[in-house]
Structure formats: C-alpha cells, structure tokens
Copies of this chain bind each other. A is one copy, B any other.
Amino acid sequence: MTVFSVALFGAGRIGAVHARNIAEHAATRLKYVVDPAPAAAHALAARFGAQVAAEETVWADPEIHAVVIGSVTATHADLIEKGLKADKAIFCEKPIDLSMSRVDEVIEVVAASKHPLFLAFNRRFDSGILEMKQRIVAGEIGPLELVTVVSKDPDGGLPIDYLKTSGGIFRDMTIHDFDMARHIMGEDFVWVQATAAALCDPAIKEIGDIDTACVSMQTASGKIAVITNSRRASFGYDQRVEAHGARGLLRTENVPQHMLVAEREDGVRRAKPHFFFIERYAQSYANEWAHFVRVLKGEEQPSATGEDGRKALQLAEAAYRSLETGRRVAVSA
C-alpha cells in the first residue's frame, strides 16, 4: 500500500486534530510539523513520531505528497500557491482569504495546477450529514423543497477581541451554514433575505456586529433555505440541519455528550450536546481526512473547493446588503 507523507502547517488546536488523524490513517504518515512557535511544534511532532521543519524543507522534499494548512488565515493564500508550485496536493482550512479578489487569484492558480485544493468545510463530513447527502442524492425523500440550518455557538465561546476582527457573524460563523445550505440543497441560491439583531451582548452591539439572525434564501427553481443563528446557546453547540422533500424529511439531531438518561420526580434528563466544536466534530475531521486520502489516490474529487469558499462568501455579502436595504437581494454570479 502507498503511504502518503504529509507536512502540517500549524501546531495549534486544529493542527493537533489533523496530526492525530494523519497518524491514525493507515495510508498517511505525518513527516513534518511547521509552526513559528517551536515548543508547540516539537510537542506535537514528538507525539506522532514526526520532525519539526522549516517551510523550505517541506517544499524541497519530494517525498511530501500533500500539505495540510492549519496556520493563521493570513498565511493560507500564500501557502496554497507555494504548495501547488512545489507539486503538493493541498488541504486548507477555510477561508482562503478574507479578500474576495485574493480568493479569485488563488482559484485561478488552482485551476492552472494539476494538483487538487480541498477546502476544509469539515461539517460536510459529519456522519449524519454524510448520510443525509447520500440519501438525498439517492432520491429517498424526492425533490427537495425546504432546507433548514440551525447553528448556534455555545455561550461564552468567543472574546470580543476576536469578534472585532472576525469580519462579522455572516462571514465568520454563518459562512459554515451558507456552505451547508448549498451542499445539502445541491443548487445555488439567487436571492437572499436577512433579519438580525444584537440581543445577546451589549459589547457585540457596540462593535456594530449582530448575534441573532435569520437568513432565508431561494434557488432559481423556487426552493427555500433558512438559516437561524445565535452566538449564545446556553446548553452547548446547537447544530441541526433539516431537508424537507416531496417524500419525506431528513434531519440531524445534536450529538449528546453521553447516553445516560435520568428519570426522577423532577423530570427525565439527558446529556447536553457537546459544548465545543473539537468534541462535536471529532469524527467529521477524521472522515474529512479519509476523504482527502481518497482524493490523493485519485478516487474522488475534492468535496469542497475554492469555488465553494467563494460562493459562501458571496451569500454572506448579500445577507449584509439585505440587512441594510430591507430588501430581497440578488446574489452576484
């Protein structure tokens, strides 16, 4: 069996998730960890028998088949371009860049390369979402009519300093939901309508951001998708998707922390959903990596590409324009 050697950029939280999945997959081996912070790089490398390396070592090593980009957003676009030039396949955390023009440049570079870029919209690989998409494609519920995405962050997850530079809720948080709605619907949206408010935290209002929102979208054929968001779910990470079709409904429920049920005089209690995305989506990261390995083997095309990143961003922009104008806004093609 071919074993693909992989270099990882970024030894932080998400880097550690990918390192583990690379090490555990029988067809991949973590060779290098690259990170400006040497202690983090060394600790992660040691755990999985990898070496700490400089960026140049990665580009120069012909044994490296693929790079995983889990470093800070500002580095993504450059690393993608350098990696493709060095003949590596690319696995990159979203977003490619916060600027639409820079995103467009990168998409062109990818188009000209023979190597794939997989953009890591990991939620597509949640076991429930994989099953949902497969059944929709198989026609289990007939033509789709209505897609609903509930997406709420756990309470207290985000410091205001982070939010200031986040680009706003639609670009930072709803971006996952725009992608999910497109992925499940399997059609592009042509109209966007948004309603929103800052209800959770006065600090969010002060910086001009919003924390509670509803976005409705419609495809050219009239199908409807609705996203509801909140920055504050007191009970954990609230992530549910529904696809309603002519012959049925597919819906995912939150994943409970454990399967204990307590029945007492004060009611029947179950576990809360997982609180944080690392636990909630642990399995989706592993599934995502297995997908990327199949891409490396030439068995599959990347599920999500630069173009998908770009389209999610367009929906975010349209949602902001709808908020400002009070109108249904056409999505620029």
Chain A interface (Cβ within 8 Å of chain B)? 20, 23-24, 26, 29, 46-50, 126-128, 130-132, 135, 140-141, 143, 145-146, 148, 150, 152, 155, 191, 193, 195-200, 212-214, 216-218, 222-224, 226, 228, 230, 232-236, 238, 244, 246-265, 267-273, 326-328
Contact = CB atoms under 8 A, between A and B. Distances in A.
B251 A260 contact: yes
A184 B253 CA distance: 23
A248 B264 contact: yes
B261 A252 contact: yes
A180 to B, nearest CB: 14
19 contacts: A49-B49, A127-B259, A127-B260, A140-B264, A155-B265, A197-B224, A226-B228, A230-B244, A234-B246, A238-B249, A238-B263, A247-B264, A248-B262, A248-B263, A248-B264, A250-B263, A253-B261, A270-B270, A327-B328
Contacts of A135: 260, 262
A272 B267 contact: yes
Given A145-B199, A200-B145, A214 B216 contact: yes
Nearest to A205: B222
Protomer copies: 4
A212 B252 CA distance: 21
A29 B46 CA distance: 9
A242 B239 CA distance: 14
A222 to B, nearest CB: 3
Nearest to A127: B258
Contacts of A255: 259
Q: Nearest 6 A-B pairs (CB), nearest first?
A: A49-B49, A197-B222, A248-B264, A127-B258, A326-B328, A235-B263
Given A200-B145, A216-B214, A223-B199, A272 B262 contact: no
Contact of A264 (B126, B234, B328): B234
Nearest to A282: B283
A228 B148 contact: yes
